[in-house]
Amino acid sequence: MAPQQAALVNLSPAELSFLRASLAQTPPIRLDVTKGPRDFRSMRAEYDVLPGANGSARIALEDGTEALVGVKAEVEKTPQRPASGEQEDVEMHDEEVGEGAGKGQNSWVEMSVEVPGFREDDSLPVFLASMLKESLLASRELRDRLYINRRFHWKLYVDVLLLSPALSYPLALLSMTTHLALLTTLLPALKSEKDEDPLFDDDWDAAVALYPKAAGKSTDKPPVIILAMAVGPNIIFDPCKEELAVADAVLAIACTNSASSATGARIVSIRTIDPPSHLTPPGIPNSMNSATGGTVPTSSTDALTQRELLATSGVWTPPRGGMKRTLVSQVTKMVVESGGVAEEVISALAAIEVG
């Protein structure tokens, strides 16, 4: 029963109250005063850093958090089942055109996340891995591109490594690094035909991209996860550790570029994240503190009543309850609208690859 949040900040109730008040005013003043509510922290990114992987990327934030992602693909045999085998035979002759369409399976993608200081079955890495994987598998295209023929498929291993200790909530950073690594992943070109044992071209220049790029056409891209938090009426993107400690609610929104139009984005997954503010210590007001001239409440019920009356006094109390429904839709709208946060992030990551 030890506290699981290693990234808990050590701020006093007075500091928390001050931070919250400055984030809740309009316009909000963030911890880094030069940043607006929609600004991300600056980062350095590079791709193709691991020679042994099919695709790789490394992103370092300015506060020293650094993530490394390697994508490896292996050819694997598809297990055959008697019933489905018979049926597939019939269908294969009908639709030879759309090879692989609808044949991909969820188990062909494997994701592992390693965060220093956490065991791999701790809740944080498990949560991160399942969110990353679920957003990746939300659209069919990736799964179907892993299909080689009826007997073989690619198995994709995405290994995510956080090199530094988790200074802030690392979900957004890991997802952006994974996005960049998948975007630059190359698979060897297939030379064999149909149901033959797969044989590949040994020329690396002929390799095909896992996420093919067509000039002038919007193709699908790997998803990217954006962290947003709500403080009072304000919505703040890419919060740092101290800002998270006073959040009313935190949302992680995974989105990818929209299939129909060049602008905007579509959502593939949303999860709420438990804000660490629920675990912060409540402040003790002067009126309840004998050291500052107050009177200590005589009974515990008296203390409870006095605490409940404090709600608007500015003394820090951990937030209760959840997010209003309108706030959720407001956040998603800010993310997906054309010219929104998602589009900005995706185009910025695409620009890294172009050079």
SS3 state at 140: helix
Nearest to 255 by CA among 348, 335, 176: 335
107 lies in the site for other proteins, by CB under 8 A:
yes
CB neighbour list of residue 171: distance below 8 Å, 6 or more residues apart: 128, 131, 225, 227, 252, 273
Q: Are 131 and 225 in contact (CB under 8 A)?
A: yes
Task: Report the alpha-carbon distance of residue 342 to residue 38 in Å, rounded.
Answer: 11
Residue 28 vs 275, nearer CB to other proteins:
275
Q: Are 243 and 227 in contact (CB under 8 A)?
A: no
217 lies in the site for other proteins, by CB under 8 A:
no
For 178-214, b where at least 16 C-beta lie within 10 A, e where not — what string? Answer: bbbbbbbbbbbeeeeeeeeebeeeeeeeebeebbeee
* DSSP string computed for 243-304: HHTT-SEEEEEEEEE-SS-SSSEEEEEEEEE--GGGGSPPP--GGG-GGGT----SSHHHHH
Residue 207 vs 323, nearer CB to other proteins:
323
| Residue of 39, 46, 196, 274 that binds other proteins (CB under 8 A) | 274
| Residue of 81, 191, 194, 213 that binds other proteins (CB under 8 A) | 81
Residue 191 vs 324, nearer CB to other proteins:
324
We find the least distance from the C-beta atom of residue 259 to other proteins, in angstroms, to be 9
Nearest to 228 by CA among 204, 251, 198: 251
Query: Pairing between strand 224-231 and 208-209?
Result: unpaired
Residue 191 vs 272, nearer CB to other proteins:
272
| Residue of 115, 142, 268, 345 that binds other proteins (CB under 8 A) | 268
22 lies in the site for other proteins, by CB under 8 A:
no
Task: Report the alpha-carbon distance of residue 141 to residue 210 in Å, rounded.
Answer: 10
Spell out, one character per residue from 287 to 306, where the chain touches other proteins: x when CB under 8 A holds, - when not.
-----------------x--
72 lies in the site for other proteins, by CB under 8 A:
no
CB neighbour list of residue 142: distance below 8 Å, 6 or more residues apart: 104, 109, 136, 210, 211, 222
Query: Pairing between strand 152-162 and 109-114?
Result: parallel
216 lies in the site for other proteins, by CB under 8 A:
no
3 lies in the site for other proteins, by CB under 8 A:
yes
Residue span binding other proteins (CB under 8 A) among the ranges 41-49, 88-96, 160-168, 197-205: 88-96
Task: Report the alpha-carbon distance of residue 345 to residue 350 in Å, rounded.
Answer: 9
- Counting residues that bind other proteins (by CB under 8 A) gives 63
| Residue of 25, 106, 289, 313 that binds other proteins (CB under 8 A) | 106
| Residue of 62, 74, 88, 196 that binds other proteins (CB under 8 A) | 88
Residue 287 vs 330, nearer CB to other proteins:
330
Residue 212 vs 281, nearer CB to other proteins:
281
Q: What's the DSSP call for residue 204?
A: G
Task: Report the alpha-carbon distance of residue 193 to residue 186 in Å, rounded.
Answer: 20
Residue 199 vs 311, nearer CB to other proteins:
311
Spell out, one character per residue from 132 to 171, where the chain touches other proteins: x when CB under 8 A holds, - when not.
--xx-xxx--------------------------------
Interface with other proteins by CB under 8 A: which residues? 1-3, 81-84, 86-88, 90-91, 102-103, 105-107, 120-121, 123, 126-127, 129-130, 134-135, 137-139, 249, 251, 258, 264-274, 278-282, 304, 307, 317-325, 328-329, 332, 336
